[in-house]
Structure 1
């Protein structure tokens, strides 16, 4: 039995996923990703130490250099982290008003995932997998999944 008939053909074009292993693509995305991250850090009122942790343990000196000159080409891990964080930021702004969206990550949360802690502490301790799970949770809440 052929599985070709199991599912109807999609009417949507497949999403184009950028090849982050390609340095040229990362060069195109990096400056705007860094600028977006700093806007997010300001909106979320992140401490510099927490921002460095979310970026995968970036050193303070590198962090301040990024602030001065955001033209650095990001590694795959860092651009992926920023992508998840910006997706979380966007989902929060779709779900809630601006004030709540920007404060949500710093508010204690009773969802079993967070155990009464803040979503920010969840991401700080869980790293990239926690960011991915949080992004999926928010996308599901807004009906994007």
Structure 2
């Protein structure tokens, strides 16, 4: 059986996405408030969601956010060495997308469109565009 066939149920997809997202949040050292805001959840929901027995539903928007954040993490890990890869998202950035703000704040404040813009920005850096 292929991996795609093993993970079909929404609950399984949610569990995998939340586990990966929790690892990214830990690697970046995000606060409870930042992690919840980035995922578009309340802090109490994020506390529950990061537990293995979480049975709640994720919206399509939330799943897309988690996926994009995991993609951002992957891009950073491929593009930069570890100290910078782990801190880039939480350091002030003078790039045109950020205007001196931290990418995490830009992503939280701008919602899904900005999370996707950060992902596109990093993919372009990685691709040399």
Q: TM-score, normalised by structure 1?
A: 0.77
Which residue of 1 is the match for residue 45 of structure 2? Answer: 62
Which structure has the larger Rg over C-alpha atoms?
1
Number of aligned residue pairs: 122
**Any idea what the Cα deviations from partners look like across 1:86-143, whole Å, max 9, x if unmatched?**
0000000010012211100111111111111111111111110000101001111111
Structure 2-normalised TM-score? 0.85
SS across alignment from 1:142? helix
Select 1:112's aligned residue among 74, 93, 96: 96
1:89 equivalent among 52, 55, 73: 73
Q: Give how far 1:28 is off.
A: 3.3
Superposition deviation, residue 71 in structure 1: 4.9
The alignment's C-alpha RMSD in Å is 1.9
Work out whether residues 31 and 73 of structure 1, in 8 Å CA contact, stay in contact via their aligned partners in 2: no
Any stretches of 5+ residues in structure 1 without a counterpart?
Answer: 1-17, 19-23
